[in-house]
Protein backbone atom coordinates (compact mmCIF):
# COMPACT_ATOMS: atom_id res chain seq x y z
CA UNK A 1 0.00 0.00 0.00
CA UNK A 2 1.29 3.45 -0.86
CA UNK A 3 1.85 6.00 1.88
CA UNK A 4 1.46 9.68 0.98
CA UNK A 5 4.77 11.40 1.49
CA UNK A 6 6.32 14.81 1.27
CA UNK A 7 8.82 15.55 -1.43
CA UNK A 8 12.05 17.34 -0.78
CA UNK A 9 14.44 14.51 -0.04
CA UNK A 10 18.05 14.05 -1.10
CA UNK A 11 19.60 10.66 -1.82
CA UNK A 12 23.33 10.23 -2.44
CA UNK A 13 23.10 7.02 -4.44
CA UNK A 14 24.01 7.19 -8.11
CA UNK A 15 20.74 7.31 -10.08
CA UNK A 16 20.16 6.31 -13.69
CA UNK A 17 17.25 6.41 -16.08
CA UNK A 18 16.38 2.75 -15.69
CA UNK A 19 13.13 2.23 -17.61
CA UNK A 20 11.08 4.40 -19.94
CA UNK A 21 7.77 3.20 -21.33
CA UNK A 22 6.37 5.71 -23.76
CA UNK A 23 3.12 3.82 -24.33
CA UNK A 24 2.48 3.57 -20.59
CA UNK A 25 3.74 7.11 -19.88
CA UNK A 26 6.00 5.82 -17.15
CA UNK A 27 9.62 6.40 -16.15
CA UNK A 28 11.70 4.61 -13.53
CA UNK A 29 14.87 6.13 -12.09
CA UNK A 30 16.94 3.70 -10.02
CA UNK A 31 19.39 4.66 -7.30
CA UNK A 32 22.12 2.04 -7.07
CA UNK A 33 23.94 1.11 -3.85
CA UNK A 34 27.69 1.69 -3.67
CA UNK A 35 29.45 -1.38 -4.99
CA UNK A 36 31.48 -2.20 -1.89
CA UNK A 37 32.71 -5.33 -0.11
CA UNK A 38 29.38 -5.86 1.67
CA UNK A 39 27.50 -5.93 -1.66
CA UNK A 40 30.08 -8.25 -3.20
CA UNK A 41 29.97 -10.65 -0.24
CA UNK A 42 26.18 -10.74 0.10
CA UNK A 43 25.41 -10.55 -3.62
CA UNK A 44 22.60 -8.06 -2.97
CA UNK A 45 22.02 -4.42 -2.11
CA UNK A 46 19.32 -1.84 -1.50
CA UNK A 47 18.16 0.18 -4.51
CA UNK A 48 15.77 3.13 -4.51
CA UNK A 49 13.27 3.14 -7.38
CA UNK A 50 11.41 6.32 -8.33
CA UNK A 51 8.46 5.49 -10.60
CA UNK A 52 6.88 8.49 -12.33
CA UNK A 53 3.36 7.85 -13.63
CA UNK A 54 1.42 9.81 -16.23
CA UNK A 55 4.63 11.24 -17.68
CA UNK A 56 4.20 14.15 -20.06
CA UNK A 57 7.83 15.19 -20.45
CA UNK A 58 11.27 14.27 -19.14
CA UNK A 59 14.56 16.14 -19.24
CA UNK A 60 17.60 14.45 -17.70
CA UNK A 61 20.75 12.58 -18.59
CA UNK A 62 20.76 8.79 -18.51
CA UNK A 63 23.15 8.89 -15.56
CA UNK A 64 21.98 11.49 -13.07
CA UNK A 65 24.10 10.97 -9.97
CA UNK A 66 22.61 11.88 -6.58
CA UNK A 67 18.97 13.03 -6.64
CA UNK A 68 17.26 15.86 -4.80
CA UNK A 69 13.61 15.06 -5.52
CA UNK A 70 11.37 18.07 -5.03
CA UNK A 71 8.32 19.78 -6.50
CA UNK A 72 8.92 22.95 -8.52
CA UNK A 73 7.74 26.13 -6.84
CA UNK A 74 5.60 28.66 -8.74
CA UNK A 75 8.59 30.64 -10.05
CA UNK A 76 10.43 27.51 -11.26
CA UNK A 77 7.28 26.24 -12.95
CA UNK A 78 6.72 29.60 -14.67
CA UNK A 79 10.32 29.62 -15.91
CA UNK A 80 9.91 26.12 -17.36
CA UNK A 81 6.60 27.09 -19.00
CA UNK A 82 8.29 30.08 -20.63
CA UNK A 83 10.85 27.66 -22.13
CA UNK A 84 8.72 24.67 -23.13
CA UNK A 85 5.15 25.96 -23.29
CA UNK A 86 2.11 25.14 -21.16
CA UNK A 87 2.58 22.35 -18.65
CA UNK A 88 -1.09 21.74 -17.94
CA UNK A 89 -2.15 19.71 -14.94
CA UNK A 90 1.08 17.77 -14.50
CA UNK A 91 3.35 18.18 -11.52
CA UNK A 92 6.93 19.30 -12.15
CA UNK A 93 9.31 17.05 -10.22
CA UNK A 94 12.85 18.46 -10.10
CA UNK A 95 15.79 16.09 -9.73
CA UNK A 96 18.74 18.32 -8.86
CA UNK A 97 19.33 20.88 -6.12
CA UNK A 98 19.22 24.52 -7.22
CA UNK A 99 18.45 23.60 -10.85
CA UNK A 100 15.45 23.23 -13.12
CA UNK A 101 17.41 21.55 -15.92
CA UNK A 102 16.62 17.96 -14.85
CA UNK A 103 12.92 17.31 -14.36
CA UNK A 104 9.99 14.99 -14.95
CA UNK A 105 6.50 16.34 -15.62
CA UNK A 106 4.07 13.67 -14.47
CA UNK A 107 0.85 13.02 -12.60
CA UNK A 108 2.61 11.54 -9.59
CA UNK A 109 5.69 9.72 -8.35
CA UNK A 110 5.88 6.55 -6.27
CA UNK A 111 9.11 5.42 -4.62
CA UNK A 112 10.44 2.62 -2.43
CA UNK A 113 13.65 0.86 -1.52
CA UNK A 114 14.14 -2.80 -2.42
CA UNK A 115 16.77 -5.34 -1.43
CA UNK A 116 17.58 -7.06 -4.72
CA UNK A 117 20.42 -9.21 -6.07
CA UNK A 118 23.44 -7.76 -7.81
CA UNK A 119 23.89 -6.55 -10.60
CA UNK A 120 20.61 -4.69 -9.83
CA UNK A 121 19.09 -5.14 -13.29
CA UNK A 122 15.78 -6.72 -12.22
CA UNK A 123 12.72 -4.80 -13.44
CA UNK A 124 11.26 -2.42 -10.87
CA UNK A 125 8.75 -4.00 -8.48
CA UNK A 126 6.92 -0.63 -8.59
CA UNK A 127 5.90 -1.22 -12.21
CA UNK A 128 2.47 -2.85 -12.15
CA UNK A 129 3.44 -5.03 -15.14
CA UNK A 130 6.26 -6.67 -13.18
CA UNK A 131 4.05 -8.93 -11.08
CA UNK A 132 6.71 -11.53 -10.33
CA UNK A 133 9.14 -8.92 -9.00
CA UNK A 134 6.37 -7.22 -6.99
CA UNK A 135 5.51 -10.53 -5.31
CA UNK A 136 9.14 -11.51 -4.70
CA UNK A 137 10.69 -8.19 -3.63
CA UNK A 138 8.78 -6.25 -0.99
CA UNK A 139 9.65 -2.64 -0.14
CA UNK A 140 12.21 -2.18 2.62
CA UNK A 141 10.20 -1.07 5.64
CA UNK A 142 7.05 -2.65 4.25
CA UNK A 143 5.59 0.27 2.29
CA UNK A 144 6.08 2.52 -0.67
CA UNK A 145 5.70 6.28 -0.77
CA UNK A 146 3.54 8.28 -3.15
CA UNK A 147 2.78 11.93 -3.80
CA UNK A 148 -0.91 10.92 -3.87
CA UNK A 149 -2.65 8.07 -2.08
Instruction: Output the pTM of the full model.
Output: 0.90
Please check whether residue 76 is in contact with residue 100, taking contact to mean a CB–CB distance below 8 angstroms: yes
pLDDT 10s digits, 15-25:
999 999 777 78
**Residue from 71, 51, 56, 25 nearest 112 by CA:** 51
pLDDT 10s digits, 78-117:
999 999 999 999 999 999 988 999 999 999 999 999 999 9
Amino acid sequence: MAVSSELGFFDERSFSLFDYRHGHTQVVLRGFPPFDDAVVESGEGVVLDLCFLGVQRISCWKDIGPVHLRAADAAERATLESRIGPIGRGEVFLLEPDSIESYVIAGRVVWAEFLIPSPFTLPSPLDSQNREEAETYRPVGGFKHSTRA
